[in-house]
Each structure stands twice: as C-alpha cells, then as structure tokens.
Amino acid sequence: MNKQQIFDAFDGYFSKTGIVEVDGEWRLLGKWCEIVPLEDGLWDLWFHDTKDLSKPLNGHRMRIIRDILQGTGAYTELDGEIYTQVHIRTINRYKRTLRKAGGFRKKKTYTNEQLAAMRERLKGVKK
C-alpha cells in the first residue's frame, strides 16, 4: 500500500504526516503505536515507544491500551509492548480511542470562516 491508500483506508481521519515509510513499507506511526497493513484487510497494531525501542511503555499506558483492545479480540503482551492483528473494520470502529492511545495526530479541519480568512491573507501576499 502507498501513503494515499493508507490515508483513504482510515477515511482521512489520521494526519498524513503520521504515514511514513520504514524499511520500504508504508505505516501509520504515532507516539506509542505502529499500524502496518497486511493482506486481506488485516493490520498489525504494535504498541511500543516508537522513538526508543529499548524503552518499555509504562504501566498506566499499558492499562489504557489493554482496555481498548479487550473489545477487539486477542492480543499478545510482551515486556512493555502489546501486539495484535485486527481487521480494518475494527480499527475504524475504535479509531477515536485508538488515536488517543496510540498518540496519532488527527487530520486538521478548518471552518469556513478560517478558510475565508486564509484566502484573504493569501490574496494580500499575491499583490
């Protein structure tokens, strides 16, 4: 999958800046979670410290993630890490809580007033 296909799989809910290429494959990367596409609509969810792989997640963060994943099915808990495979429908059902637990950025949305103000500023720059 490429960056746009991953973005579309989540209906544009997560920011495109979180979709990065690591070791030749595209993945959604948050502060505490990586989501990697597999085949047949399955996705790997790997909860760990994405900046420092040697650091385990703290107990509070692990409890939050466990509470979220109990509704999704089985998961494997290692020392400071949690791993599971889920279907894309499950991710889309839990994407709000997953965004907070995984440390993902949400796609920015602008109101019509904000867009109009930005257009006015750009018109002033062009002149």
pLDDT of the chain, 127 residues: tens digit per residue: 889 998 888 888 888 888 999 999 999 998 888 999 998 888 998 999 888 888 888 888 888 888 878 877 788 888 889 998 888 888 888 777 787 777 887 778 889 999 999 999 888 876 5
CATH of 3-126 among 3.90.1150, 3.40.50, 1.10.10, 2.40.160: 3.90.1150
- Contacts of 6-14 with C-beta under 8 Å, sequence gap 24+, read 6/37, 9/37, 9/88, 10/91, 10/92, 10/95, 11/92, 12/107, 13/95, 13/99, 13/106, 13/107, 14/95, 14/99, 14/104, 14/105, 14/106, 14/107
Report DSSP state, residue 50: S
- Which residue ranges make up each domain of the chain? 3-126
Q: Where are the alpha helices (DSSP H) in the chain?
A: 3-9, 59-69, 88-93, 95-102, 112-126
pTM of the predicted model as reported, rounded to 2 decimal places: 0.76
3-state SS, residue 2: coil
